[in-house]
Amino acid sequence: MIRRAGAAVCAALCVAMAGPAAAACLAVVARPEGTTLATVDAIDGFRIAYVHSVTRTPVVETYRVDADAFVQTAIRFSEHGPGLPTQSDEGGRFLRVGNAFVMTMQRRFDSIAMRIHADQSPVLVAGDRSVQLAAWGNRSLALVRSPSCAAH
């Protein structure tokens, strides 16, 4: 999720190098307290899925973890709404795939703000692990690089 007006859910992703370059452990952190709520191994990337706050339709954002950044590689949605793209970024593609719009991109983020609301059913998916982001209530969360993928 990117910084854009009217975004259904924003994500706070802060990059802090920890451990070997192959490690891609992410921690879900409560803000502003800084308490780690969950960790996931995102070596193969991750997705954040949610229901758009206005259109009430599904949105899926796809990311990979680089050595120095989180990179948004795609966003998929079925209906245009506030905060959703209407054209591709430079070097990206805006496609119609079946009943969905798919925009590919290479958006790099050091940090992205995330505000969670249960009505949007936000979920973080990395590998075979799903984390219901609204499990801790309507609040501000962050995803940060973690030195360990130890389960919480």
Judged against a pLDDT cut of 60, whether residue 8 lies above it is answered with no
- The fraction of the chain above a pLDDT of 70, given in percent, is 82
Whether the Cβ atoms of residue 129 and residue 44 lie closer than 8 Å to each other: no
Inter-CA distances, 38 with 1, 102, 140, Å: 19, 29, 14
| DSSP letter, residue 33 | T
pLDDT at 75 over 90: yes
The CA-CA-CA angle for residues 121, 2, 67, to 5°, reads 105
CA-nearest of 125, 122, 144, 119 to 133 is 122
Q: pLDDT class for 32, splitting at 50, 70, 90?
A: very high
pLDDT mean over 117-146: 93
Q: How confident is the model at residue 4 (pLDDT cuts 50, 70, 90)?
A: very low
Beta bridge partners of 48: 61, 124
Residue 152's pLDDT is: 65
Q: What backbone phi and psi angles, to 5 degrees, belong to 127?
A: 60, -130
Best-predicted range by mean pLDDT (45-54, 102-111, 138-147): 45-54
Tokens found for residue 76: 């998929």
Average pLDDT over every residue of 42-56: 95
CB atoms within 10 A of CB 86: 8
